[in-house]
Amino acid sequence: MKKHPAVIVVGGGAAGILAALQARRQGASVRIVEKTDRLGTKILISGGGKCNVAHDGPLEDVIKAFRPNEARFIRPACYRLTNQQIIEMFTSRGLEVYTRPNGRVFPVHQTAKDVVAILEGYLEEAGVEIIRDCAVLEVISESNQIQGIRTAQGDMQTSHLVLSVGGSSYPKTGCTGDGWPWAKALGHQIVKVRAALAPVYLEMESADPRAGVSLRDVILKARIQGKEIARWSGDVLLTHRGLSGPCVLGITRIIAERFHEGPVTLEADLEPEKSFEVLSGEIQCWIQENPKKFILSVLNTNIPERIRENILEFAEIDNQPGRSLSKKLLNRLIENLKAFPLGTVRTVPLEKGEVVAGGVSLDEVDPQTMRSKICRGLYLCGEILDIAGPVGGYNLQAAFATGFVAGETAGQDALLDRS
Ligand SMILES: Cc1cc2nc3c(=O)[nH]c(=O)nc-3n(C[C@H](O)[C@H](O)[C@H](O)COP(=O)(O)OP(=O)(O)OC[C@H]3O[C@@H](n4cnc5c(N)ncnc54)[C@H](O)[C@@H]3O)c2cc1C
């Protein structure tokens, strides 16, 4: 019969791997118990299989990309495992990386598989025991002290348990929100779990024939009863069911939070660099110089043709020579360029999000140690916590850093208890 490990880490994703490694480095015996047959299932699909492994630049900027309460919580952990240290953790094992102008760090040739292989290499060298294909079913505690876990392969005893089972998006990766009922049963508050960094499905009668069309460098605005509730800059991709792309992922957390207030409509400013007046002046100038040219050709050719046709259609303007365009029609044309209607949100599918917002309340976890303030011997890290950063390598930063600290504390506590 196997000896009981000093520390058990439930969930072998980004946070769990770092926790196990760091606990082992303290000298504690460590076991990862992972539900699926692989470690890092979410890392493998991250960044479209490329893995945006970190965000470069000043650490404070990385931290401030999170909401203020989340930033306050992750700050100590991020200073313990900085973005530069994360990058070095991979580059020192041969991963070549490059940084995009927007700060996102990706492997040059390799894929997310190489990122996971490097992490597995660290675990093997450190001597972390890994049990795959073993779902944890329950956490066992007595008088607010962790005793162990109940798994599909029987009970396992430990007094130091790191919970790093992630969130509940992409359930096929093994992440089905298992950790929240356990944390709740141990006395933790769970902040309502909502979609974040997800696509949007729109109200529509049939699949959008424009699927695949991209709107580049626009400002996407969300409104409820005409009042703007959120905006985000970037690219929008039209899909069969609605919208996706970085800009859409950026705005969905707020939409999911405000959805109950009323129908949310979306529109895109297709010419965000130019004011209404500047656009009006430019178009009038163009018409004067090209009076016989048709109005469709005046529109910025960076805007896809299908969308330019929509603009005329929505503004109820025939594609006519520019000289015949009245002032009233010109204004309608510009109104549609500055607020191109995209539709009404039907839903934000939580399961399709890169992360979920909500989870174990940050008030009940010590940010310096990741110890639960409620239950002795419990450490929480990664997406199980109420943290959701934007797209750009921020979420792996939060998972790696909080995992690092949780593991270090659990390992040290375990050794102290034994001495
Ligand atoms: C499509 C997609 C793309 C992404 N791209 C990026 C990106 O490029 N950059 C970035 O920074 N972030 C990205 N993210 C987000 C990032 O992957 C997550 O924030 C991060 O993986 C969370 O780490 P975690 O360790 O907390 O949870 P996870 O990585 O989700 O790991 C949790 C682990 O726990 C296991 N588990 C769950 N329940 C149990 C149980 N009952 N028993 C045992 N084990 C269990 C799961 O199988 C899983 O292996 C992306 C996410 C998705 C879905």
For residue 134, the domain's CATH number is: 3.50.50.60
372: phi then psi, degrees, rounded to nearest 5:
-65, 140
Beta carbon of 22 within 6 Å of any ligand 1 atom: no
Local structure of 393: helix, strand or coil: coil
Distance 406 CA to ligand 1 centre (A): 16
Same domain for 92 and 232, yes or no, is no
Q: 311 CA distance to ligand 1 centroid (A)?
A: 40
Same domain, 165 and 236: no
Average pLDDT over residues 368-395: 97
Domain limit, last residue, from 341, 369, 388: 341
Distance 258 CA to ligand 1 centre (A): 25
Q: Are residues 45 and 152 in the same domain?
A: yes
Query: In the predicted model, what is the mean pLDDT of the chain?
Result: 95
Q: Worst-scoring range by mean pLDDT, 65-79, 168-182, 308-322, 342-356? A: 308-322
Q: Is 220 in the pocket of ligand 1 (CB under 6 A)?
A: no
Residue 299 has pLDDT above 90, yes or no: no
Identify whether residues 170 and 238 lie together within a single domain: no
Mean pLDDT of 220-233: 97
Question: Among the atoms of ligand 1, which is closest to the Cα of residue 173?
Answer: 47
The ligand 1 atom nearest the CA atom of 55: 11
Tell me how far apart the alpha carbons of residues 149 and 154 are, in angstroms, rounded to a whole number.
Answer: 9
CA of 168 to the centre of ligand 1 (A): 9
How many CB atoms neighbour CB 321 within 10 A? 13
Q: Among positive and negative, which fits the CA dihedral 157, 160, 163, 164?
A: negative
Q: For residue 300, name the pLDDT band (cuts at 50, 70, 90).
A: confident
Q: Domain containing 157: what range?
A: 7-192+355-418
What's the token pair of residue 80?
A: 């313990």
The mean per-residue pLDDT over the stretch 230-251 comes to 95
Residue 44 CB less than 6 A away from ligand 1 = no
Domain at 299, CATH number: 1.10.8
Which of 165, 193, 370 gets mutated to test ligand 1 (max ligand atoms within 8 A of its CB)?
A: 165
57 three-class SS:
coil
Task: Note whether 386 and 363 are same-domain residues.
Answer: yes
User: Which residue CA neighbors atom 6 of ligand 1 most closely?
Assistant: 46
Determine if ligand 1 sits within 6 Å of the CB of residue 70: no
Q: Is the pLDDT of residue 1 over 50?
A: no
The answer to whether residue 2 is domain-embedded is no
Q: Whose CA is nearest to atom 26 of ligand 1?
A: 382
Residue 16 CA, ligand 1 centroid: distance in Å: 10
Q: Are residues 411 and 304 in the same domain?
A: no
Residues 352/199, Cβ–Cβ less than 8 Å: yes
Minimum-distance ligand 1 atom for the alpha carbon of 48: 3
User: Rounded distance, CA 396 to CA 30, Å?
Assistant: 22
- 222 and 117 in a single domain? The answer is no
384 inside domain: yes
Tell me the per-residue pLDDT of 9-23, one tens digit each, with 9 for 90 and over. Answer: 999 999 999 999 999
- Mean pLDDT of all residues in 229-246: 96
| Mean pLDDT, residues 257-272 taken together | 96
| CB of residue 382 inside a 6 A radius of ligand 1 | yes
Query: Is the domain of 51 the same as that of 14?
Result: yes
Q: What average pLDDT score do residues 114-143 get? A: 97
Is the minimum distance from the CB of 408 to ligand 1 under 6 angstroms?
A: no
Question: Does a structural domain hold residue 253?
Answer: yes
Please check whether residues 108 and 48 belong to one and the same domain. yes
Total number of domains in the chain: 3
Among candidates 195, 175, 182, 135, which has minimal Cα distance to 360?
A: 182
Q: What is the pLDDT of residues 143-186, one digit of tens each?
A: 999 999 999 899 999 999 999 999 999 999 999 999 999 999 99
Q: What is the number of other CB atoms lying within 10 angstroms of the CB of residue 376?
A: 15
Q: Does a structural domain hold residue 13?
A: yes
Q: What is the pLDDT of residue 2?
A: 63
pLDDT of residue 363: 98
Q: Is residue 161 part of a domain?
A: yes
170 lines ligand 1 (CB under 6 A): yes
Instruction: Assess whether pLDDT exceeds 60 at residue 245.
Output: yes
Using DSSP's 3-state secondary structure scheme, residue 274 falls into coil
What confidence tier does 217 reach under pLDDT thresholds 50, 70, 90? very high
The response to whether residue 385 sits with its C-beta less than 6 Å from ligand 1 reads no
**Ligand 1 pocket check for 165: Cβ under 6 Å:** yes
Instruction: Note whether residue 17 is domain-resident.
Output: yes
Are 14 and 80 members of one domain?
Answer: yes
Q: Is the CB of 33 under 6 A from ligand 1?
A: yes
The string of pLDDT tens digits covering residues 400-415 is 999 999 999 999 999 9
pLDDT tens, 327-368?
999 999 999 999 999 999 999 999 999 999 999 999 999 999
Cβ neighbors of 75 (< 8 A, separation 6 or more) are: 63, 367
pLDDT at 301 over 90: no
Cα of 366 vs centre of ligand 1, distance in Å, is 22
1 within domain boundaries: no
Structure confidence at residue 290 (pLDDT)? 86
* Nearest by Cα to 338 from 267, 391, 419: 267
Would you tell me how many other CB atoms lie within 10 Å of the CB of residue 119?
24
- Do residues 385 and 330 both lie within one domain? no
Is the distance from CB of 358 to CB of 194 less than 8 angstroms?
Answer: yes
